Structure 1
Amino acid sequence: MVAEDMHIVRGALIALLQLEPDIEVVAEVASGDEILPVARATGAQVAVIDIDLPGKDGLTAAEELHEYLPDCRTLILTSLGRPGTLRRALAAKVSGFLLKDAPPDKLANAVRGVLAGRRMVDGDLALAAWDAADCPLTGREIDVLRLTAEGYETVEVAARLYLSAGTVRNYLTTVVAKLNARNRVDAIRIAKDSGWL
């Protein structure tokens, strides 16, 4: 199964995979919300998932597959070759992590590898992740920062996370301090550049 929201990219991925005699694409979806139900309905053995999808993002969808359909392996594709992104992917229990600018033959080999039960990770990115700093933010701080980055006001973030507006402001102040950022916008930039968001 291929999950990619950009039609041309999705078509190209499917065309590349269908060139392989031992790989059959059984489904394609354009949003993260479709991944679990379609994987269940088709019996997909491997889900090739873009990390940045509308609805549920690729990592959230991969976590759901791992929990509710553990026999379906997940291969995350991303254009963001950042160590923090790889760490988030591994924490989500994905089977593989591949950069979108990898040579085409790597895609088919990665699909075969994850199907065989191996972890398939871009070597250069794995080395960079080894040396990268850990995210200093807690899970709740990341949740608050992610919703803020999506454009929600403090009151809206508070309602979504069942917190008071004052608590959300305190979290954001702590995040700015932990990241040594100038303000919230700078904190969002730092977290995105590091692959923590």
Structure 2
Amino acid sequence: MRIFLAGATGVIGTRLVPLLVGAGHVVAGMTRSASKAEQVRAAGAEPVVCDVYDLDALTAAVVAFRPDLVMHQLTDLPDDATLLPELAGANARIRTEGTRNLVAAARAAGAKRFLAQSIAWEPAGGRGQVIQDHEAAVLDIDGVVVKYGQFYGPGTYYEDELPTHPRVHVEDAAAQTIPLLEASSGVVILADTA
């Protein structure tokens, strides 16, 4: 399968790329940072340097790759978790405008499948509507919404402690995403059971 992965250098994207390549998929890994292109190439994917907010460039990149599936693993979260409330608008924009642009690019490219990450908990500060609209946009094109629990493990906000439920180790989240490439449209929750 040809997979266009938006968010290839994020916390889960860096884990997904080698798993996807190892499973025999041809992967284009999108990052907005030219300095991270070599990281994507080293993981076995074709790097695509593009900003999700540049609809024309994004559409051209996705159309050129001809994916069977577009995977939306983009977030815009600060490195410091204490800044989350202050900078929540950036991640909300990824879930609204970013999702809209990826859906449009996937349609223009004739991609048959779309998979997007979401969260398995109710966000603070009234951001629930943003999440609902994001998920609805994915389901409207017969996509798969993967609602992850809070990530823990290396490179996450919870490297040395467990977050509250729902939660999932970031390595497990990546591994459990691979079988969902063939899933029917709908919502899947990936979280620890204990």
Q: TM-score, normalized by length of structure 2?
A: 0.48
Q: TM-score, normalized by length of structure 1?
A: 0.47
Larger proportion of helix: 1
Larger Rg: 1
Larger proportion of strand: 2
